[in-house]
Structure 1
């Protein structure tokens, strides 16, 4: 996959030079490149589109003046609301979320080297030494990798309000409309049946826990007819990138930064992201 290969090449350049990598920026660029490839079949990094998409995600979650003053809007057959809905579904689902899952997962692994070491051992025992990119067949055998991703999604639900699929219910007796939203973050804590808020669990606990809406204490992608339609693509992108990051490189923190100093503070928006950038020093393992 070209996008993964390019990301690995950038990290390898930094590893050769012994320099620091802004993993927040790199993972965002990777997710944006994947979305561009899916939507348009083109690769837009050279056109500066990566920065444009990040600004788009920020604006989609911001204040909309027309919602308070509808007269300011103009209606067409294809309305602005239609276009906005399509943009949110495609780019919110394919860019920001995957990058944020990867960043939270990698940051948490840096805080807990035992878990990172165990994950690296699994990946490197399955992938032949010297192989450039981890294949889908090899990903299917990485049980601990999937457990780590599940645990990251439980600790840091990227879309705590889930995607903006909303249902309207009419009450005939009063003709009143009620807005039914969906919240997932509270389900992943102690009230949702998982008794370890803020603490990583053993992989055996999460082995049989599914992400496809069957286990109602864990719904990172929603459930039922309105479950995220891109669930398989999103999981595949996260698994592929994380496996390659773990296979090709060992990771260190910049000089003067300790593991306890890694700030996991969240910033709310259309999705949840880390407040601080994740800066790491890669060491080539290949």
Structure 2
């Protein structure tokens, strides 16, 4: 595909996503109008809309800003989640003993008659430990997204020209041992969503399937190189074979 075709497709995709976000905001505003005085925020979009209506805010959060924050939550939470799950499976295939311990925990807590639900995660400490170790070994966003200086400023004796690309680092009072989503005011807004996606997805993949490499490939031959950028996905996508390991009826929708 040439550059012009790629740009055209991205513009079409962006327009469709904007229509989706408009629909989301309209739905939330409609519920606020129906419930009126009884309305209370139920999710992050509700909170953002509530902030947008606050006349005391120093910086006005307009509708376009609410859409931008919502987009960050969706994109940040889902992309980081899928990347981390892929890293987790890649690491675990090289350590079948850890997979066995995780499955022992889930078989005891969940059984073999159902899938893992979000409410089960608090009772699966070993699976949560696997997620933390994966994030330690392969932090999905080692650096936060760069920002642009809107005006010339002086910070601690350094002149920052207008238009400079700035990397925001704010880890005051935080644990330096594990900061996979950044920290402070500039941390990834999709952190909570991303963590829930990672924990639940990985738990179900380990609980529901037995994993093996194709074509008699050995675990030590698995490519573990990464691509560095705003996120750190695998350089070579993981290719694995899955076999059901639970009762057959739970795989039917």
Whether TM-score is above 0.5 comes out as: yes
The 2-side partners of 1:172 and 1:254 are apart by 54
Asked whether the 8 Å contact 1:162–1:220 carries over to 2, the reply is: no
**Superposition pairs of residues 132-171 of structure 1, within 5 angstroms:** 133-164=115-146, 170-171=153-154
The 2-side partners of 1:215 and 1:174 are apart by 28
Note the C-alpha offset of 1:84. 11
**Superposition pairs of residues 78-97 of structure 1, within 5 angstroms:** 89-90=72-73, 92-97=75-80
The 1-side partners of 2:221 and 2:156 are apart by 57
Asked whether the 8 Å contact 2:142–2:182 carries over to 1, the reply is: no
Give 1:224's aligned residue. 184
**Residue 271 (structure 1) aligned with residue 231 (structure 2):** yes
Asked whether the 8 Å contact 2:139–2:181 carries over to 1, the reply is: no
Note the C-alpha offset of 1:85. 6.4
Asked whether the 8 Å contact 1:167–1:181 carries over to 2, the reply is: no
Give 1:192's aligned residue. none
Residues 19-65 of structure 1 show CA distances to partners (whole Å, capped at 9, x for unaligned) of xxxxxxxxxxxxxxxx99x9566xxxxxxxxxxxxxxxxxxxxxxxx
The 1-side partners of 2:92 and 2:208 are apart by 16
Note the C-alpha offset of 1:276. 1.2
Check 1:253–1:100 CA distance in 2 against 1; reply closer, same or farther (3 A cut).
same
Name the SS for the 1:171 alignment partner.
Answer: strand
The 2-side partners of 1:89 and 1:221 are apart by 13
Asked whether the 8 Å contact 1:266–1:275 carries over to 2, the reply is: yes
Deviates more, 1:167-176 or 1:149-158: 167-176
Note the C-alpha offset of 1:240. 0.7
Larger radius of gyration: 2
Note the aligned Cα RMSD (angstroms): 3.6
Note the C-alpha offset of 1:156. 0.8
Higher relative contact order structure (alpha carbons within 8 Å, sequence separation ≥ 6) = 1
Name the SS for the 1:266 alignment partner.
Answer: coil
The 2-side partners of 1:98 and 1:172 are apart by 35
User: Of residues 241, 244, 247 in structure 2, which corresponds to 1:284?
Assistant: 244
User: Of residues 245, 249, 274 in structure 1, which corresponds to 2:205?
Assistant: 245
